[in-house]
Chain A
Amino acid sequence: MAHGDDSKEKVVFVGDSRVRRGNGFITPPDYTAYPGKSEAFIPNFLLKEWMVGVVVLVGILVLTISEPAPLGFPANPAATVIPIPDWYFLFLYQYLKLPYASGDYIVLGTLGVTGVAFGALLLAPFLDTGRERRFYRRPIASSLMFVSLAAIIYLTNTAWTEYKHEMAESNMIPEDILREEKAAENKAAGLPTTSAVQPKAIAIVDKDDPAMATFKQATCISCHATDLKGASGPSLRGVGDKHDKAAILAIIKEGKGQMPPMYDTAIGAGLTDQDIDGLADWLAKQKSEQ
Chain B
Amino acid sequence: MFKNVYNWIDERLDITPIWRDVADHEVPEHVNPAHHFSAFVYCFGGLTFFITVIQILSGMFLTMYYVPDIINAYASVEYLQTKVAFGKIVRGMHHWGASLVIVMMFLHTMRVFFTGSYKAPREMNWVVGMLIFFVMLGLGLTGYLLPWDNKAYFATKVTLEIANSVPFMGPVLKELMQGGTIAGAETLTRFFALHVFFLPAVLLILLVGHFIMIRRQGISGPL
Question: Which residues of A are interface residues toward B (Cβ below 8 A)?
Answer: 1-3, 11, 13-18, 21, 26, 28, 30-32, 34-42, 44-45, 48-49, 52-53, 56-57, 60-61, 63-65, 67-77, 79, 81-89, 93, 96, 106-107, 109-111, 118, 121-126, 128-135, 138, 141-142, 145, 175-176, 183, 193-197
Contacts and interface: CB of A to CB of B under 8 A. Distances in A.
The 3 closest A-B pairs by CB, nearest first: A14-B218, A133-B116, A64-B92
A122 B34 contact: no
Given A60-B93, A69-B95, A28 B130 contact: no
Given A84-B151, A133-B119, A133-B223, A63 B167 contact: no
A129 B157 CA distance: 41
- Determine the interface band of chain B, counting residues with CB < 8 A from chain A: 35 or more
Nearest to A64: B92
Given A28-B217, A83-B155, A111-B166, A41 B27 contact: yes
B191 interface: no
A278 to B, nearest CB: 37
B167 A73 contact: no
B150 A64 contact: no
A17 B113 contact: no
A3 B221 CA distance: 17
Contact of A63 (B81, B96, B127): B96
A125 B141 contact: no
B32 interface: yes
Interface stretch (B3-11, B42-50, B193-201, B202-210): B42-50
Contact of B154 (A68, A81, A132): A81
Given A48-B34, A79-B150, A86-B155, A134 B123 contact: no
Interface of B: 20-21, 23-30, 32-35, 43, 46-47, 50-51, 54, 70-71, 74-75, 77-78, 81-82, 88-89, 91-100, 102, 110, 113-123, 126-127, 130-131, 134, 137, 140-141, 144, 147-155, 157-159, 162, 165-167, 215-223
A45 to B, nearest CB: 4
B24 A42 contact: yes
Given A14-B28, A86-B99, 16 more contacts: A28-B217, A28-B218, A37-B35, A39-B29, A45-B27, A68-B88, A70-B151, A75-B150, A81-B153, A110-B162, A110-B165, A121-B130, A125-B126, A126-B123, A142-B114, A196-B78
A38 B162 contact: no
A182 B150 CA distance: 16
A65 B92 contact: yes
Nearest to B215: A13
Contact of A40 (B27, B148, B166, B216): B27
